[in-house]
Chains A and B, each alone.
Chain A
């Protein structure tokens, strides 16, 4: 139980374009989902907390207009990186809370 999926697993996009990453809880409902970013050989840094049906809460220093988060249902949250730049290249990981946090497999974003 407690399986979280992410799609896509990896994506390459051109600078200035937008990319959407989906996070799904497959066998449970998650009122709360979290989005993290992880740079190579570093720890996970929380970007935002997403609650179903309400606006996401962003951590200090994370641009909410650049990283758009939508939690439209109890099993789906999306992260859209708008106007991506090479410095946005990273490993993006979501987690869902039933209440312990279970993580998705991650999405590697490369911006060229």
Chain B
């Protein structure tokens, strides 16, 4: 089955700086790669996703890049703000409505 690795497990950045979280996956049949933000005691919130026919996608301060050959994808957050502090999970699946395999999560802390 699919295996998703995520690094780093914790990340602290100064407010205003950029944060990058990286994931690798094992199943070449995976075509859908979402990123979720989870705040304490809440369910994950979909923040951005990318499909295998696209190499990069951007939504305001958030961007995701995908290298399907190398089987890795990354989340980039620019101009970080205190409210960006949360746990971020990457995931992979064959399509959006099939089961997701999650990475182990990255606890992002923005230092004011």
Contact = CB atoms under 8 A, between A and B. Distances in A.
Interface of A: 4, 6, 31-32, 34, 42-46, 49, 93, 95, 97-106, 108
Contact of B42 (A31, A98, A106): A106
Contacts of B45: 103
A105 B42 contact: yes
A25 B33 CA distance: 22
B105 A46 contact: no
Interface of B: 34, 36, 41-46, 49, 89, 95-97, 99-105
Contact of A93 (B34, B44, B96, B103): B44
A108 B105 CA distance: 20
A103 B95 contact: no
Contact of B41 (A32, A45, A106): A106
Contacts of B36: 103
A35 B45 CA distance: 15
A44 B44 contact: yes
10 nearest interchain CB pairs? A99-B97, A99-B96, A103-B43, A97-B97, A100-B96, A106-B43, A105-B43, A43-B102, A103-B44, A44-B102
Task: Give the dominant DSSP class at A's interface.
Answer: strand
Contacts of B89: 43-44
Given A43-B89, A44-B89, A101-B100, 17 more contacts: A6-B43, A31-B97, A34-B99, A34-B100, A42-B105, A45-B102, A46-B99, A46-B100, A93-B43, A97-B97, A98-B97, A100-B46, A100-B97, A101-B97, A103-B43, A103-B44, A104-B43
A29 B45 CA distance: 19
A33 B98 CA distance: 10
Contacts of B100: 34, 44, 46, 95, 101
